[in-house]
Structure 1
Amino acid sequence: MRLKKELLQQIQSIIISSKERAIRSVETERMLMYWKIGKVIFEEEQKGKDRAGYGEYLIKSISDEFQPQLGTGFSIRQLERNRQFYRAFPIASALRTHFSWTHYKILISIDSQDKKDFYIAETEKNNWSARQLERQVNSQLFERLLLSNDIESVLAIARAEKQPTEPTQIIKDPMVLEFLGLKKETAYYEKDLETAIISHLQDFLLEIGNGFSFVARQKRIHIDGDEFFIDLVFYNRLLQCFVIIEIKTTKLSHQDMGQLQMYVNYYDRFEKQSFENPTIGILLCTDKNDAVVKISLPENNKTIIASKYQLYLPTEQQLIDEMKKEIEKVRNL
């Protein structure tokens, strides 16, 4: 007599679920252990803060005592990290038990409290894995959003205290597409970039911003007998609108802006429902002249965005240079 396949699957599901809960429980206990050890070290260190070098002596002594028996979890580096953990998150009840220790290792390395709050909120809201969090920190997501927004707005949206109303509150410029695996020096066509984006769609959705879902690739439209193909079409549930992306592997021109404007107009007139907001168009390009972008579009434009993309993670200096450019633009307005 053979057992029913559904019964076996049900039991297997129970086993997998129990194992996952057990692993999460162990991870939570480990995280709390590190926090408690950090608390003890910090409080003892404060008692001897007037003695030069007492903190270093304390951590080395604890490591010498426990590392031979318990391994690298009691190395000097790990004990220092435990102390940092407690200092960064001094209230145990505020710890997110669904965050792993790897999440917290990344977070305690962030020096700015505003930046830390942002990444905590985004990780919680988007259920980022530790790998995804690390990638967003390394790609300097917080700094890139600040190029077009103020800190209060960025934090409020991250914490879901306010809904985004402008595309720039979600969409980054520049976009970092290092996950596509395309080399900066290699010649490639727009179709190659489009194919790479589709092949890494999950990563691209994470990079482009919150609330996006994929709709179509090479969307065919007919305008009075002429046929056109839109590179990529998405929908954003937060902005409640279609988002059209046109890809350019060369420097942006005013003709590109006009073509994208035509596609946006088409979607507004023939695809958009009455309850939806105006369509947004993004020109994803390797380079752009901001003056050309500005003069090619209406003064009150809020629906066409030119966003540079780069195939490598930005350095801190690159972001600083971009910040200076944005500040200079504001001054010249």
Structure 2
Amino acid sequence: MTPSQNFFSDIHSIISQARQNAVRSVNFERVVMYWKIGQRIFEEEQNGEQRAEYGSFLIKTLAEALEPEFGTGFSARQLERFRQFYRTFPIASALRTEFSWTHYKLMLSIDNEDKRAFYEAESIHNLWNARELERQINSQLYERLLLSNDKKAVLAVAKKERLPEKAEHIIKDPMVLEFLGLKQESNYYEQDLESAIISHLQEFLLELGNGFAFVARQKRIHLDGDDFFIDLVFYNRLLQCFVLIEIKTHKLTHQDMGQLQMYVNYYDRVEKADFEKPTIGILLCADKNNTVVKFSLPEDNKQIIASKYELYLPSEKQLLEELEREINKEKD
């Protein structure tokens, strides 16, 4: 009797899972080791009479003792990082088994406590590997969400202390699409950008935010003899609503807003179930005039969002300047 294919698949899965668990266990033990070394350095340092001088001396002396036997992974610079690790994450039981040492090194580079807590929570809930965490930090995800939200709301949603009450809580502005591999200076059509997004759908879903699922591309709607096509349709399980995306490779116009509003109205009246919340529309555009956006929509608008896209990772300085400009506009 020949074993079934399921039998071989099951054995393969058992071996693969065991290997993954072993690697994860080893990585976590290394994290715990670094934490304990940092704790011990900190405790010993507190016993020194001249703490600042003694701390530097202690780490230098320890590195000279450890490096010959254990290698450069225990240099003075690394030992200082272990000490910082303990001081930043002082509770051993709070260390996450799903985080590698690379995760923690990335978070240690963040000085702002709220910002670090945000990335920690997002990494946990979205199962980010270290590479994805690094990309989100480099793309200034926290600052982009703050452009349209208050700090407490952003952090509360990330920590799942509350559900997002409006789309701005999870929609970013600008959206950074550097993974598409398109050049900033090139001329291309909207279908080119759309095709690139579909080819990199997994990365785009991560860029969109929490809880998004792809539904359709070029969704056809028929209105009394006329056909219209919505570029991209998604569903967000946290917001419990459809999310329609229209792509514009030019500066946004009020006509673009009207087109998307029609699509949103159609989905609300035809596609949306009674238990679902109102449809969200996102205009993904090359550029926008916020004043035009403001006056093209009702004052109580909660359904249409205009978000610029960037084809390269912006610097922190660029985004902070953008944040300052938006704050000043609100004051004016």
Name the TM tier (shorter chain): over 0.9
| AA matched with 1:5 | Q
1:164-205 Cα distance to aligned partner (Å, 9 max, x none): 111101101111111111111122111111011111111111
The percentage of aligned residue pairs carrying the same residue is 68
Residue of structure 1 in register with 2:214 after alignment = 214
Measure, in 2, the Cα distance between the counterparts of 1:164 and 1:111. 26
Structure 1 residues 268, 76: closer, same or farther in 2, change over 3 A?
same
Aligned twin of 2:269: 269
1:111-167 CA distance string (max 9 Å, x none): 011111111111111111111111111111111111111111111111111111111
- Residues paired across the two proteins, number: 332
Give the structure 1 partner of residue 148 of structure 2: 148
Residue type at the aligned position of 2:18: S
Cα distance in 2, alignment partners of residues 114 and 258 from structure 1: 38
Question: 2:91 aligns to what?
Answer: 91
- The one-letter code of the counterpart of 2:222 is H
**Within the alignment, does 1:239 sit opposite 2:239 as a pair?**
yes
**CA positional deviation for 1:330:** 2.0
Q: Residue 56 of structure 1: CA displacement?
A: 2.2
Q: Report the Cα distance in structure 2 between the residues aligned to 1:77 and 1:50, rounded to whole angstroms.
A: 21
Partner SS state of residue 264, structure 2? helix
Question: Could you say which residue in structure 2 is the equivalent of 1:42?
Answer: 42
Report the equivalent of 1:282.
282
Equivalent residue, structure 2, for 1:28: 28
Tell me: CA distance 1:59–1:270, structure 2 relative to 1, closer, same or farther (3 Å): same
* 2-structure distance, mates of 1:12, 1:170: 38
Alignment-mate amino acid for residue 308 of structure 1:
K
TM-fit CA distance, 1:53: 3.0
Question: In the alignment, is residue 8 of structure 1 matched against residue 3 of structure 2?
Answer: no
The correspondence of residues 50-199 of structure 1 with structure 2, limited to 5 A, is 50=50, 53-199=53-199
Structure 1 residues 236-291: Cα deviation after superposition (integer angstroms, max 9, x where no partner): 11111111100011111111111111111111111111111111111100110111
Q: Aligned partner of 1:153: which letter?
A: A
Contact 1:219 1:233 in 2 (8 A): yes
Structure 1, unpaired ranges of 5+: none
SS in 2 for 1:53: helix
Counterpart residue type for residue 316 of structure 1 = E
Q: For residue 309 of structure 1, what is the aligned residue in structure 2?
A: 309
Kept after mapping to 1: 8 A contact 2:251/2:287: yes
- Give per-residue Cα distances to partners, 1:100-120, cap 9 Å, x unaligned: 111111111110111111111
TM-score normalised to the size of structure 1? Answer: 0.96
Give the partner amino acid of 1:329: K
Residues 69 and 189 of structure 1: CA distance in aligned 2, closer, same or farther (over 3 Å): same
- Which residue matches 1:293? 293
Distance 2:129 2:331 in 1: 40
Opposite residue 16 of structure 1, the aligned amino acid is S
Tell me how far apart the structure 1 counterparts of residues 51 and 86 of structure 2 sit (CA, whole Å): 21
Q: Match for residue 228 of structure 1?
A: 228
One-letter amino acid of the structure 2 residue matched with residue 266 of structure 1: Y
2:309 aligns to what SS in structure 1? strand
Q: 2: distance between equivalents of 1:328 and 1:161?
A: 30
1:227 is matched by which residue type in structure 2? D
Let me know the Cα RMSD of the aligned residues.
1.4
Q: Tell me, what secondary structure is at the counterpart of 1:12?
A: helix
The AA in structure 2 aligned to 1:155 is L
> Is contact 1:49–1:55 with CA below 8 Å preserved after alignment?
no
Question: Per-residue deviation at 1:4?
Answer: 4.0
Deviation at 1:3, TM superposition (A): 4.3
Write out per-residue CA displacement over residues 64-86 of structure 1, whole angstroms, 9 at most, x where no aligned residue. 11112211221222111111111
In 2, distance between residues paired with 1:194 and 1:87?
46
How big is each residue's C-alpha offset from its partner over 1:42-76, in whole Å with a ceiling of 9 and x where there is no partner? 12222226155322222221111111221122122
The separation in 2 between residues aligned to 1:16 and 1:280, in whole angstroms, is 41
Q: Distance in 2 between matches of 1:301 and 1:188?
A: 31
5+ residue gaps in structure 2?
Answer: none
Cα distance in 2 for residues equivalent to 1:57 and 1:244:
60
